[in-house]
Structure 1
């Protein structure tokens, strides 16, 4: 027989005591396990809403030796794992949803800072541009004054 044998479906090995078997007991090479612990996994009110299994658990359909009790335990364990994972995912989602709101505030602060920095740079550039233009105008006036003075003081050598 396989390592996993169900009492309801097959005969126990000759080396094992048949008095220790109950409905819902799984026999393995490591010992006997009670599969009724799966009922402990159900939460309050879930038993009424639980769908009834209609599929056959015959060895020909399953491909291995397994009974409805073992399948129910597997399904119960799977539901419990799924429920825990869903709770964990919901908790992570709440954390993620909380992060963007605080990160959104940080992002707004960064955007305001960058806007103020851009305004400051623009004002500084405008001021420098005005100062440079003013200095250039002063330099051009001085140049014209020098040229006009030079033209007035220049001897007229070539007069017709």
Structure 2
């Protein structure tokens, strides 16, 4: 989980491959109208996110027994709770970085529907993991290799894998 540009897809694809688990990217669950809205620089609201969250929850529920890796912003506690109801053993990895770091990454990113102008709205909406949520926060400030190593270490310490 984390804001756009935090490295979720890079780390998630690697983790799924390393663990031999199915992988999904939340971007692939957005209805077309959500993509059009974000492409136009308009932040999504909770009503926009509801069918997106439901689709991801269904995907997770179908893989709850064997495990899977889903990369998703999951910015708010209530969004994560919706996903956790579908997959009670869900474990979150929050890739955390400063606004300046992530903005610089987004400025270099090409071909994605999420414009850098929406980054502030994501940081404004972001709710850190709560004590009632299974998960860890890992710095996204390093190289992809450093971030992957930090995620793997954090998951091992948590006894997840």
- TM-score using structure 1 length: 0.20
Q: Which has the higher helix share?
A: 1
> Which is higher, the Rg of structure 1 or of structure 2?
1
Higher RCO structure, 1 or 2 (CA under 8 Å, sep 6+): 2
